[in-house]
Amino acid sequence: MRYDRLEGCRICPRLAAHLDQVRDTHPGYRCLPVGAAGSASSKLLLVGLAPGLHGANRTGRPFTGDASGTFLFAALARAGLASDPDPLKARLVNVRLTNAVKCLPPQNRPTAAEMEACSGYLRGEIGELWSPRVKLARCVLCLGRLAHRSVGIAIGQRLPEFRHGQLCEVVPNLWVADSYHPSRQNTNTRRLTTEMFDVVLEDVKSVVGLAS
Ligand code: SF4
């Protein structure tokens, strides 16, 4: 699968039809697959589940335009990983953002087959982050259980069960970390608080040599 073909990808018929339908009802929304944001030479890759209807699906940039992005960019700015807490103004610093599934799924729930189909793009992004030739630590932070599962598929490794705050070196110099997703549902219920997420970001910065 060629990563440069992402924008025109319609491999998943259900998701392609859904994007066409959403484009009809929201003509100003981008409604295309959404690739990664941030430099490919970053030390950290944060992986969410899929573009949000009014967020990345509208703006074309992961975690930009909805409540998840507001929470995430504020945390990235506190951690020195974004130049500004405003997702529309921020420049990412040593961190790249992406999603496991690049197209908006109905009810925010991709199927297992769609996650598998899209794993080649995520594999490409992880391949830009880390390779066995690079002898420096790199880290993938999975935002939520399904992102964790997709990262395991993409790297072809059986990962430990998802656990918020977990951080493990799955192959030499490639670390995988877990956090609850910064969805409105998780942050409003305080399943994920700013303090909890700040701790995760400090941990992942530490393993890649970016500690404050
Ligand atoms: S989810 Fe991924 S594989 Fe499926 S159509 Fe979108 S970009 Fe292509």
Query: Does the C-beta of 11 come closer than 6 Å to ligand 1?
Result: yes
How far is Cα 158 from Cα 181, in angstroms, rounded to an integer?
21
Query: Does the C-beta of 12 come closer than 6 Å to ligand 1?
Result: yes
Per-residue confidence (pLDDT) for residue 112, from 0 to 100: 95
Cβ proximity of 85 and 137 under 8 Å? no
pLDDT-derived band at 3, boundaries 50, 70, 90: low
pLDDT-derived band at 48, boundaries 50, 70, 90: very high
Average pLDDT over residues 108-130: 96
Task: Give the residue among 101, 116, 188 at the shortest CA–CA distance from 154.
Answer: 116
Q: What tokens does 115 get? A: 């996650």
- Helix (H) / strand (E) containing 128: helix 112-129
pLDDT-derived band at 21, boundaries 50, 70, 90: very high
Per-residue confidence (pLDDT) for residue 129, from 0 to 100: 96
Pocket test for ligand 1, best of 5, 15, 121 (most atoms within 8 A of CB): 15
Q: Which amino acid would we find at residue 56?
A: A
Whether the pLDDT of residue 2 is over 90: the answer is no
Whether the pLDDT of residue 158 is over 70: the answer is yes
Above pLDDT 70, what percent of the chain? 98
